[in-house]
Structure 1
Amino acid sequence: MSSRSYSLLGLWPVINRWKFLVLTAVGLALVISVIVALMLPNIYKSTAVFYPTNPNTTDPDRIVTEGGKLELGGRTEDLDRVITIGESQTVAELMIKRFKLHQHYKAGKPGDDLADQAALDEFNGNLTVVHNDRDAIELTFKDRDKVLAAKIANTLTQVIDSINQQLTFENRRNIIELYRERRDFLQKEYTATHDSLVQGRRRYGIYGMDRESRYLAKEIIETEADLRRAEGEGDSRRAAGLRRALKGLTQAEGGNLLNLENYVAGTDLMTTLYARFNDVQGRLIGARSAYESAKLAISGKISSIYVVQKAFPATKKAAPVRWLIVVSSVLITLVLSVIFITLLELYRGNLSVGRAGRAQA
């Protein structure tokens, strides 16, 4: 059996037979779509464009000391973080409360679950935060009030910047605490080392003066030489005095503050204490400087985004496109009408064939 061929031209007789019904449906669609399109409010949108900066380069300490430069967006994690903040429920609820959008959207009283959800859905439906092909963030907000749309878009940008700063600088607060603990620890070590150094000086008589050991050796040699000379000359009284002087220079019990016995015993210890003291002192100065710089850096507020374009009130509406609503409604109605009458004709034809077959039988 050969299959039946269909053609669009074959629909014309069908449409012609049902032309009044089709025209009525299309006319109703035209009238209703025009009324609906005219009743729809004008929607305006405002767009703010900004680049997220690399948080590692917004450290005031690095900018001052290392000559760092602000690096604009480009890192995926920075872009994703900013978009996530902008689309978060926390930000949405903050904006709804700040601009009293429950009343503006006629969603109901704040505090009611249904009203809150309705306002939140309306807000999220009007907000768009996207990453464009130039690695910038485009924040767009739509509303019936073009001035309000621009205000919300700009305020959203500021809120995103504020929250982004809190996120990126949270760890730096912990780092400041570590800097403070390190400074306090080195301060204690410095004090303990200094006390040990003072005690060592008092005990061993080593004060770190220039050529201290050379002078001690010179005095010992000269005193011993004088002692030998006095003994050779038979001057017992002078020899006794020189023996006491030599004992004072060589033995700790001799009474001299600076003596050879203490000097030899304390040289290694004092050398180690001097090295330790100098090391702790240098580290303490560095720790104090790092703590002060970090504290100054965290107290400074540098924007985490670079705004290229602020949002301004729109000069023309973004929606609705009324002619498109009317044309699409008429075309859809026409197509549905043709499909309906075609199916109806096919049904009636099959029904007639069935009746004819039963009559012949």
Structure 2
Amino acid sequence: MSARSYSLLGLWPLLRKWRRPVLGALLLAIIGSVLVALLLPNIYKSTAVFYPTNPETIDPDRLVEERSNGNLVPSLTPGGRAEDLDRIITIGQSQPIAELIIKRFHLHEHYKLGQPGDELADQYVLDEFSSNLSIVHNERDAIELTFQDKDKVLAAQVVNAMTQAIDSFNQQLTLENRRKIIDLYRERANFLEHEHSQIRDSLIRFRRRYGIYGMQMESRYLAKEIVETETALRQAEGEVAAGGGSAAKVAGLRRALRGLTQADGGNALNLENFTAGNDELTTLAIRFQDVQGRLVRARGAYETARLAISGKISSIYVVQKAYPAARKSKPIRWLIVVGSVVVTFVLAVVFIALLEAYRRNASSELAATYPD
């Protein structure tokens, strides 16, 4: 016995036969869907678009850069790195951000889901808030933060508040590390300042001890005086040996030569002290200049980094702020009505076809049982 075949054309007689119930069902579907569509509140959607920055928080020297006009400007640039995008999305979806916004905008009262402090009410409000929130990474490597609500002004306010909260939380993630780095810069500057002071005191002490004060051509002056004094001494000694001259002049020249050559001779500048202290003072002077240059650079780096961090540079670049929507995003009422009518019609056709098939099979079985 071959199976009965069905076609769409075969449904037409059934629809004509059952046209009244079908039309009644469609009419009820239209009325019901229209009532439901009219009772549904309008939902408005607001969206903000922003880029995360790529802050070089581990190196304060890179927090600012100097332009050709001498102005210091932040060196933070918009970043589309995966880690920056993931960090922003994670912060936006975190519970602390949600609880902050729920408390700020009194969403318990807005959603009419109980009072704050009740665990069930808090969870219901959190679930409702999360279902209305969307934060995604779009194809242009930007972050789109969207919130929908029946109050279009509230939706825009929530999005802008969340943008600010995400920026604040993102800065807080690295604030402690940046403070530690600033402390390191300050400690380095203080250490170099202490070293600078010690080397300067050592230089003063050694100059007084050896009589070397950094006069220009000091060594040439000392050598010239020694040679001239020694020459004059030799001449005076020769005159005395020849039976002339003055013994007092010779004694005076000898004393002058002793003062120029020996530390106990009485001269502040003498060959013995100059030779003993020249190398040591030269090394100290070189070290003093090096520490002085490093100290100047360290102070500049510390002040620059402190200025950059204390400026509270935003960690995101907002391309588009959220504004109250001019048009609703849902519900699409005509689609609800059309969809309800189509679904009702399909279900009615299926029900009629099954009912007719059941009756036909029942009649065939009855005829086979009682052939007369």
Is the pair's TM-score, using the shorter chain for normalization, greater than 0.5?
Answer: yes
2:150 aligned residue: 144
TM-score, structure 1 as length reference: 0.88
For 1:340 and 1:165, how far apart are their aligned partners in 2?
62
For 1:343 and 1:328, how far apart are their aligned partners in 2?
23
What whole-Å deviation, never above 9, does each CA across 1:188-207 have from its counterpart, x for those lacking one? Answer: 21122112212221222222
| Contact 2:44 2:329 (C-alpha < 8 Å) held by counterparts | yes
1:196 aligned residue: 202
> In structure 2, do the counterparts of structure 1 residues 113 and 63 end up closer, same or farther at CA, with 3 Å as the change threshold?
farther
Match of residue 211, structure 2, among 205, 208, 211 = 205
Read off the aligned partner of 2:225 and give its amino acid letter.
E
2:134 aligned residue: 128
1:218 aligned residue: 224
* Structure 1, unpaired ranges of 5+: none
Please state how far the C-alpha of 1:348 moved relative to its aligned partner: 4.8
Question: Match of 2:10, SS?
Answer: helix
Question: Match of 2:9, SS?
Answer: helix
2:161 aligned residue: 155
| Number of residue pairs the alignment of both structures matches | 360
1:62 aligned residue: 65
Q: Which moved more, 1:91-100 or 1:138-147?
A: 138-147
1:247 maps to 2:247: no
What whole-Å deviation, never above 9, does each CA across 1:119-173 have from its counterpart, x for those lacking one? Answer: 1111122222233344443322211112212222222222233333334555432
What whole-Å deviation, never above 9, does each CA across 1:33-90 have from its counterpart, x for those lacking one? Answer: 2221111111112223334444359977325557677644544444333333333222
> In structure 2, do the counterparts of structure 1 residues 299 and 70 end up closer, same or farther at CA, with 3 Å as the change threshold?
closer
Question: Match of 2:64, SS?
Answer: helix
Aligned Cα root-mean-square deviation (Å):
2.9
For 2:337 and 2:138, how far apart are their aligned partners in 1?
32
| Contact 1:46 1:141 (C-alpha < 8 Å) held by counterparts | yes
For 1:357 and 1:244, how far apart are their aligned partners in 2?
157
Q: Which has the higher helix share?
A: 1
Q: How does 1:46-125 map to 2 (within 5 A)?
A: 46-56=46-56, 61-62=64-65, 71-125=77-131
For 1:206 and 1:340, how far apart are their aligned partners in 2?
116
Read off the aligned partner of 1:200 and give its amino acid letter.
F
> In structure 2, do the counterparts of structure 1 residues 251 and 16 end up closer, same or farther at CA, with 3 Å as the change threshold?
same
| Contact 2:46 2:146 (C-alpha < 8 Å) held by counterparts | yes
For 1:92 and 1:115, how far apart are their aligned partners in 2?
14
For 1:177 and 1:289, how far apart are their aligned partners in 2?
14
Read off the aligned partner of 2:345 and give its amino acid letter.
L
Read off the aligned partner of 1:283 and give its amino acid letter.
R
1:294 aligned residue: 305
What whole-Å deviation, never above 9, does each CA across 1:207-261 have from its counterpart, x for those lacking one? Answer: 2111111111111112211221222122333323322322222222333322212
What whole-Å deviation, never above 9, does each CA across 1:273-331 have from its counterpart, x for those lacking one? Answer: 00000000010011111111111111113333333333222222221111111111121
Match of residue 319, structure 1, among 315, 319, 330 = 330
> In structure 2, do the counterparts of structure 1 residues 349 and 269 end up closer, same or farther at CA, with 3 Å as the change threshold?
farther
Q: Which moved more, 1:131-140 or 1:105-114?
A: 131-140
Question: Match of 2:309, SS?
Answer: helix
1:31 aligned residue: 31
Q: Which moved more, 1:347-356 or 1:79-88?
A: 347-356
Question: Match of 2:47, SS?
Answer: strand
* Structure 2, unpaired ranges of 5+: 241-245
Question: Match of 2:213, SS?
Answer: coil
For 2:334 and 2:238, how far apart are their aligned partners in 1?
133
| Contact 2:56 2:63 (C-alpha < 8 Å) held by counterparts | no
> In structure 2, do the counterparts of structure 1 residues 161 and 6 end up closer, same or farther at CA, with 3 Å as the change threshold?
same
Q: Which moved more, 1:223-232 or 1:66-75?
A: 66-75
| Contact 2:74 2:308 (C-alpha < 8 Å) held by counterparts | no
1:11 aligned residue: 11
| Contact 1:140 1:153 (C-alpha < 8 Å) held by counterparts | yes
> In structure 2, do the counterparts of structure 1 residues 63 and 358 end up closer, same or farther at CA, with 3 Å as the change threshold?
farther
2:186 aligned residue: 180
> In structure 2, do the counterparts of structure 1 residues 56 and 2 end up closer, same or farther at CA, with 3 Å as the change threshold?
same
